[in-house]
Amino acid sequence: SGRRGDSGRRGEVDAVKVLVIGAGAREHALVTALAADPVVDAVIAAPGNPGMAAIALCEPVEATDAAAVTALAARHAVDLVVIGPEAPLVAGVADAVREAGIACYGPSAEAARLEGSKSFAKEVMAAADVPTGMGRLCTSIEEVAEALDAFGAPHVVKDDGLAAGKGVVVTDEREAALEHARACLDKEGGAVVIEEFLDGPEVSLFVVSDGHTVVPLTPAQDFKRVFDGDEGPNTGGMGAYSPLPWAAPDLVDEVVRRVAQPTITEMALRGTPFVGTLFIGLALTSRGPRVIEFNARFGDPETQVVLARLLSPLGGLLYAAATGTLEQVPRLRWSDEAAVTVVIAAENYPGTPRTGDVIEGLDVVEEVPGAYVLHAGTRFGEDGTIVSAGGRVLSVVGRGADLAQARERAYAAVGRITLDGSHHRADIALQAVRGEVSVAGSV
């Protein structure tokens, strides 16, 4: 398997066996899309979850253990490893897999610094002339205080290192900003980035890259705060939708031209080509799109709605990226349908979540047309039950002719599921459906 078709063009393959690393709803969405690609003849997930177990072989491997992941890939003779989360990327798992001669979709540890270090990302953006907010790297509380005063409120304080989406505090209160900065600085080698506040709706755009060529996916919007109306602390993401009916038609082209291609080119020039998903988090300000952050992987839960709308086969795309042949991939096709996902979270998430509760209703969700469930923090309980095992437990997806219908279906499906103590946002995609999202200064 994995060979190039004798009669096919370069970069085409007959049959690929894929190993997906990760255990969340993002990986469940990836496994689902890969399994649906005729070129993919087997999918293995490690460690996976009960949702993935229904369509793929799950192997109990620690995602950040490079030697174990490489050994597993070799044992199953996979043609491609797809790495979902950031932790294994930053830990160098992609490097280890490639060193073993196996194609890998996911950046090297060096390239993953675009996510792993906020200050490195800022440095690359400056070198590539990518539009972003002003920021200052601070290693002492005195520097922080000075930067906070220079930029003024609202204050944006970011842990320089990886923090699972929870390292950022945006606040009007100087004391709260200082307190978060202190907590970050207290860590070994701690540093924080103080940033200018960027106003405007946020967009997540994923681009697939082989290190040189860039293929954009369709944009989505994420809901980071835990409560309705964007209240409460940041989470990994409580829901998402796509497409963005309010976005400018040339948004994707503009972001590829001004952000994605210059960044990918800069990384290649530095000798650390970025192979994988460059996740561009943008604020659409009155002065145009500005990068809020880069991630080195697919976003969760945005991936759940982006892949729900992808008509082109995913396996061929990721294999081409991993083997440097993205230029030959035909233009991606997208469904006109809309997709909305709502995350069902365990009690107390994003704090320490309550776990071990039985989830009911999973078997009746698909009675709702266009709806299905992706598993995140779940595990098998006794007597064939499925129980909660993490903060974000499920990602419920609804597809429909437009956002309103997709949204109705997602919430109808959420209503069929019971999990003691769980919570979810009730306003995912609501403003978009009502036509209440707009970019300042645009018509």
Q: Give contact residues for ligand AMP (rule: CB under 6 A).
A: 133, 156, 158, 165, 168, 170, 195-198, 202, 224, 234, 281, 292-293
Q: Could you please report the per-residue DSSP string of 160-176? A: SS--TT-SEEEES-HHH
Residue 155: CB minimum distance to ligand AMP, A: 10
Residue 331: CB minimum distance to ligand AMP, A: 29
What are the φ/ψ torsions at residue 280 (nearest 5 degrees)?
-105, 115
Report the alpha-carbon distance of residue 214 to residue 207 in Å, rounded.
Answer: 6
13 or 156: whose CB is closer to ligand GLY? 156
320 or 376: whose CB is closer to ligand GLY? 376
Three-state DSSP at 263 gives helix
One character per residue 290-309, x = contact with ligand GLY (rule: CB under 6 A):
-----x---xx-x-------
Q: Which does 299 bind (CB under 5 to 8 A by kind): ligand GLY, ligand AMP, none?
A: ligand GLY
* Backbone φ/ψ region at 126: left (φ over 0), alpha (ψ -120 to 50), beta: alpha
Residues within window 165-194 making contact with ligand GLY, judged by CB under 6 A: 165
162 or 178: whose CB is closer to ligand AMP? 162
79 or 302: whose CB is closer to ligand AMP? 302
**Burial of residue 412 (number of CB atoms within 10 Å: 0-12, 13-18, 19+):** middle
Residue 27: CB minimum distance to ligand GLY, A: 12
Q: Which does 195 bind (CB under 5 to 8 A by kind): ligand AMP, ligand GLY, none?
A: ligand AMP
Please report which residue ranges of 224-288 form alpha helices under DSSP H: 251-255, 261-269
Q: How many helices (H) and strands (E) does the chain have?
A: 15, 22
One character per residue 151-170, x = contact with ligand GLY (rule: CB under 6 A):
--------------x-----
Residue from 37, 222, 337, 357 touching ligand GLY (CB under 6 A): that is 222
Residue 19 near residue 34 (C-beta atoms within 8 A)? no
234 or 323: whose CB is closer to ligand GLY? 234
Total residues at the site for ligand GLY (CB under 6 A)? Answer: 8
88 or 165: whose CB is closer to ligand GLY? 165
Q: Which helix (H) or strand (E) holds 289?
A: strand 288-295
What are the φ/ψ torsions at residue 104 (nearest 5 degrees)?
-135, 130
Cis before 154? omega within 30:
yes
Residue 147: CB minimum distance to ligand AMP, A: 12
3-state SS, 173-216, equals CHHHHHHHHHHHHCCCCCCEEEECCCCCCEEEEEEEEECCCEEE
160 or 357: whose CB is closer to ligand GLY? 160
Residues within window 407-436 making contact with ligand GLY, judged by CB under 6 A: none
**Burial of residue 90 (number of CB atoms within 10 Å: 0-12, 13-18, 19+):** buried
Question: In the block, which residue shows the tokens 């459906």?
Answer: 433
281 or 370: whose CB is closer to ligand AMP? 281
Q: Does 237 bind ligand GLY (CB under 6 A)?
A: yes
Residue 21 near residue 33 (C-beta atoms within 8 A)? no
In the complex, the residues that contact ligand GLY under the rule CB under 6 A are 165, 222, 236-237, 295, 299-300, 302
